Amino acid sequence: MDNPFVYGEVVPAAAFVNRVTELDRLVGDLAAGQKVFLISPRRYGKSSLIRQALAAMNRRGALTVDVTVSSFSSYVAFLEGYARALLAAETKWDRARHWLLESIRTVRPEIRYEPSFPRSTPSSRPIAAPGLTVAFPTVRAERDVSRLAQEVFELPARLAEARRRKVVVALDEFQAIGGFDGGSVEHALRAAVQHQRDVGYVFAGSEPSLMERMLGPRRPFYKAGPVMRLDKIPAEEFAEAIDARFTRSGIRPEAGLAAAIVDLGGNLPYDVQRLAHETWDEVRAAGRRRATLDDLHLALRRLLAEQHMMFEALWQRLTLAQRAALRAVVLEEGRELLSADARTRQRLGGPSTVQAALAALTREDVISREGDRYLVVDSLLREWVARRTY
């Protein structure tokens, strides 16, 4: 049997864990044409949840479009990619080409389709219609880009009208859109989507602080739609799902193994799936039918050895104050790091020095804030710091 645990890519339906309430809510809002803002820290399974919601809407007959905003290097490249994804939702090539040419009037798009384009890709996300390209080569001036954006952002509504079907658009890593053209892109997109009654949107972001600012009172998307904040899966439910998946694959887990995997992985879907995947591989490679805590420890040691060079390079890039703060997050479990006791135990500097180091580590996505504590984003890095630094 294939390994039942999946990480490093969008999780397929068979490996999707829990999220029943969140999925039902998201699908219901999208079916109603809502503009949903999904906010989630990295590794919480946001993209997998979106993919399940789009699949559910597909089964209801909706046309679905999935675009990762952070994949593009410029505003025009994003507009080209967005137009390509919408064009790909139209299954008949000639009709799709004619529809786009009719819809974009400010500039004549270059549309090409090469059926022989290789369909395999190392990316964790499939390419929208492999072989299909849309380009706006004559668009250079800021004024031309602004006019083009207005037409591209109107395309989902035009597609819904042309096909007489609901359209659902997922813009993942949405916080990256602010880097394309300052705030004007937010104004243009909000102006277009607020009138699109037959189009549901999910604007998803994995940098909560940036997403929260985008939804503030002085920003275009203020009160534009419901906000979903993705929390961790309850640890007990996650452990039950891990146990069940081991058992269904023909490998009997030792009592407490799944709970240990969830705890060691920080209850983050990516990290938990990774540890379960590698533990399953250890057992299968040994030709056994029972998974134990020893197998988990072997998998952990192997993963730490594989990641050592990368973690060592990251450690060397940090200042001494940042190294000390990172070790304190690990050893103090992220709590009360500014207290005199914690600073004395961990040989930290003054409160302002610690605060500056924590802020730098947060900006670099090394740690994150959860309630009243700091957490290391990568559970493997946390274990490496605990075992290999002083």
Q: Read off the pLDDT of residues 193-240 as tens digits, 9 standing for 90 and up.
A: 999 999 999 999 988 888 888 899 989 899 999 999 988 888 999 999
* Cβ 251 vs Cβ 28: under 8 Å: no
Q: Which 8-state DSSP code applies to residue 183?
A: B
Under 8 Å between Cβ of 353 and 321: yes
Q: What is the pTM of this model?
A: 0.80
The residues spanned by each domain of the chain are: 19-229, 278-388
Query: Residue 96 has what pLDDT?
Result: 81
Q: Are the CB atoms for 102 and 87 separated by under 8 Å? A: no
Asked whether this chain's domains 19-229 and 278-388 adopt the same fold, the reply is no
Q: 19-229: which CATH number, 3.40.50.300, 3.30.420.10, 3.40.50.1000, 3.40.50.2300? A: 3.40.50.300
pLDDT < 70 regions, the chain: 9-18, 91, 115-130, 182-183
| Closest alpha carbon to 261 in 228, 231, 225, 236 | 236
* CATH code for residues 278-388: 1.10.10
Rounded to an integer, what distance in angstroms lies between the CA atom of residue 72 and that of residue 9?
19
Specify whether the CB–CB gap between 331 and 346 falls below 8 A: yes
If 0-12 CB within 10 Å is exposed, 13-18 middle and 19+ buried, where does residue 363 land? exposed
Helices (H), 139-216: 142-163, 178-181, 184-193, 208-214
